[in-house]
Structure 1
Amino acid sequence: MGRMHADEHAIDTALVRRLVRGQFPCWGYLPVTPLASGGTVNAVYRLGADLTVRLPLTAGGAADIAKERRVLATLGSLPVAVPAVAAVGEPAEGYPWPWAVHRWLDGEPALEGRAASVRDLAEFVVALRASTADGPPAYRGKPLSSVDAGVRRAISELERTGEPFDASAALARWTSALAAPQWTGPPCWLHSDLMPSNLLLRNGRLTGVLDWATAGLGDPACDLIPAWNLFTAATRPVFRDAVGADDATWARGRGWALAMSVIQLPYYRHTNAVISANARHVLTELGCRKP
C-alpha cells in the first residue's frame, strides 16, 4: 500500500521492534513481520506466531485503541472468534499515540465475489444484533441523511476521476435509499465496518471478525453492506432472507454500501488497491459502473 493520508505517521518494522522491546520485553525476542492489509486506520505487524501489533496511522485513529478494547470487553459470546487484546502500549520512540497488541486469529481475509458462507455471516450479524449489552453509538448506525452532503460531494468527485462511473445512476440509487423509512426500533448492536478484509475465512467458512472500533448501537441496516461488498446477485437474496431484512432496512443497507464505495474510491484509488477494488465491486453490483 502507498501512503494513504496526508497526516500519516511513518511506521516501519524497526519502530515496532523498538516499541515492543521497550515496553513488553517478554515479547522482545519475537520476530516482527509487516502484514499486507487493506486497512486504512492501522499499520499491522505480526509478532511471533501468536500476536499482532496494531499502530494507528493518524491522530484520528488513536482513540480507536481504547474504544475497541472497551467494545471487545463488553461483547458476549458470538458464533465466530473476535480479537483479544493482549496489551496496550504507550507513546514512545517518537511514535505519538497508544497502540495495541492482539492475539493472532487464523484465517484468510474474504474477497469480494469469491466463495464465502452467506449463512455464517448472517448468523454472526443476527447474533450480534441480539446482544443486550450497553454500548456506544455505532460509527454508521445513524440515519443515512447524516452523510448526504458527503456522498453527493464524493459522487461529483468520482465523476471527475476518469473512472467508468455512472453518476446519474448513483444519484438515483442514493435518492431512493434516502427515501426509505427510517429505523424506529430500539438501537441494535452493529459491527458497522463489515468489509471483506475484516472477515476471516477457512475453507469458505467464516471463523473470525476483525476491527471493532466502529462497533456499537444503531440502525441494523449498515451491517447489510456485505450483500453488495462481498456477495453477488446469486447469493444476495439468501443473505437477505437469513438476516430477516425488511424492504426499508434493505434499502438503507444498499444506501450505506453506495455511500462507502463512492467515498472510498476517489480517496484510495491510487493508494489502497484492496479498498479500491472493493469499491468498484460494489458500484458494479449496484449498476453504477459503465461497461
Structure 2
Amino acid sequence: MTMHADQVDVSSELVAALIQEQFPQWSGRAVRPQASTGTVNSIFRIGDDLSARFPLRPADPGEALAVLEREAEAAAELARVSPFPVPEPVAMGKPGAGYPMPWSVQTWLPGTVAFDADPSGSEAFAGDLAAFIAALRDADTRGRSFDGDNRGGVISDHDDWMAECFEESEGLLDVPRLRDMWSRYRELPRTSPDVMSHGDLIPGNVLVTGGRLVGVLDTGGFGAADPALDLVGAWHLLEAGPREALRRRLACDELEWERGKAWAFEQAMGLVWYYVESNPAMSALGRRTLDRILES
C-alpha cells in the first residue's frame, strides 16, 4: 500500500536508467532499494558508499529543485558541526526516464536505524544523543531564525492541524484526554532564542551500533528553531531513565522540557492516524510516543 494518494512510484530499473543517463561513472554499481519507514523519499543504495533519494510526492520541478538545493546546503552545514557522521551531498539528478522531478545523491552511512536496533534503554546512547543536540545548539545561527511552516516556531500555529488529527483519531485514541493536553501545550510560553536544530529526531533518522549513536540521517532540515524542538528525540527514542539522563546532560529547565514534549505530542498525533494502514511502523511510533508522554 502506498503512503500518499499521489505517490510517485520508483523502481530499481528506473533508478538504474537515471544513473546510466546522468551519472555514467556509477552505471556499473549495484542499485538496491533500501527498506525504510520514511515518508518523504524512496531511498536506493548505489554501490557501497552512495545513496539516492527520490521525492515520493509530485511537485513542480523548479520548486522541488530549490528545496533539494536548500536541503543540500543545510546538510553540508550540519556535516561541519556534527560530532557524529551525517550523509553529505554528492550530486543532484534531473527529471528523466519517466521520473518527473529532480533527485539527490548522498554518501551512505553504515549502521542500523533505531527502529531495528532499539537503543531506548541505553544511557550511553542518551548521552550520545545529548552530545549531538548540544553541538547543534552551539552552532552559529548567523542571525537566522525559524522561517518554516512545520514544527519549530509557534506551537499554537498548529491548532488547525491538531483539530484535524483529533477528528481523524476518533476510535483510535482517547481524544478527549489528548485534546485537554493540547489545550495546555499550545499555551506554553517561549523564552529562549532560536538555536540550530536537526528538526526530526525519530528512530528512522538515527543510526545505532552496539547501543551507541553512530550516525544521523535526514539532515536537510538543519536550521534555526525553538531550542526545545530536538527534544522530541527524548520521547521518540528513549525510555524514562535514559530520557532523564539526556535532560540532565542538556540542563533543560521545566518550561523547555514541556515544550519539547509538546512538539513530540504534535508530531505523534499526526503519525498515528495518517499512517495507520500505509506505514504501520510510523503509526506505532506515534502511539508509543504518546504513551510515553501520557506516562510522564
Assess if the C-alpha contact under 8 Å between 1:140 and 1:214 holds in 2: no
TM-score between both structures, scaled by the size of structure 2: 0.90
Q: Please report the RMSD computed on the Cα atoms of aligned residues, expressed in angstroms.
A: 1.8
**Which piece of structure 1 moves more, 167-176 or 97-106?**
167-176
TM-score between both structures, scaled by the size of structure 1: 0.92
Q: 2:168 pairs with 157, 170, 186, which one?
A: 157
Q: 2:147 corresponds to which residue? A: 137
Q: 2:39 corresponds to which residue? A: 40
How big is the shift at 1:113? 6.7
Q: Percent identity?
A: 37
Q: Please state if 1:103 is matched with 2:107.
A: yes
Q: 1:286 pairs with 278, 289, 293, which one?
A: 293
Q: 2:73 corresponds to which residue? A: 70
Matches within 5 A, 1:1-291: 2-59=1-58, 62=64, 63-75=66-78, 76-111=80-115, 114-116=120-122, 117-134=125-142, 137=147, 139-159=150-170, 162-163=171-172, 165-182=173-190, 184-287=191-294
**Which piece of structure 1 moves more, 2-11 or 172-181?**
172-181
From the superposition, tell whether residues 72 and 113 of structure 1 become closer, same or farther in structure 2 (CA, over 3 Å): closer
Q: What is the one-letter code of the residue matched to 1:145?
A: S
Assess if the C-alpha contact under 8 Å between 2:129 and 2:213 holds in 1: yes
Q: What is the one-letter code of the residue matched to 2:178?
A: A
Assess if the C-alpha contact under 8 Å between 2:51 and 2:106 holds in 1: yes
How big is the shift at 1:25? 0.5
Assess if the C-alpha contact under 8 Å between 2:44 and 2:51 holds in 1: yes
Secondary structure of the residue aligned to 1:194 is coil
Secondary structure of the residue aligned to 1:102 is strand
Q: Distance in 1 between matches of 2:139 and 2:207?
A: 21
How big is the shift at 1:171? 1.5
**Which piece of structure 1 moves more, 53-62 or 99-108?**
53-62
Assess if the C-alpha contact under 8 Å between 1:83 and 1:104 holds in 2: yes
Q: Distance in 1 between matches of 2:53 and 2:263?
A: 27
**Once the two structures are superposed, what CA deviation does each residue of 1:234-279 show, in whole Å capped at 9, x if it has no partner?**
2221111112211111111111111111112111110112211211
**Once the two structures are superposed, what CA deviation does each residue of 1:105-148 show, in whole Å capped at 9, x if it has no partner?**
01100136744400000010010011004356364220111111
Q: What is the one-letter code of the residue matched to 1:129?
A: R
Q: Distance in 2 between matches of 1:155 and 1:235?
A: 30
Q: Distance in 1 between matches of 2:4 and 2:139?
A: 35
Assess if the C-alpha contact under 8 Å between 1:34 and 1:45 holds in 2: yes
Assess if the C-alpha contact under 8 Å between 2:141 and 2:224 holds in 1: no
Assess if the C-alpha contact under 8 Å between 1:261 and 1:280 holds in 2: yes
Q: How many residues align?
A: 283
Q: What is the one-letter code of the residue matched to 1:73?
A: A
Q: What is the one-letter code of the residue matched to 1:28?
A: S
Q: Distance in 1 between matches of 2:256 and 2:98?
A: 46
Q: Distance in 2 between matches of 1:31 and 1:113?
A: 31
Q: Distance in 2 between matches of 1:228 and 1:101?
A: 31
Q: Distance in 2 between matches of 1:58 and 1:177?
A: 31
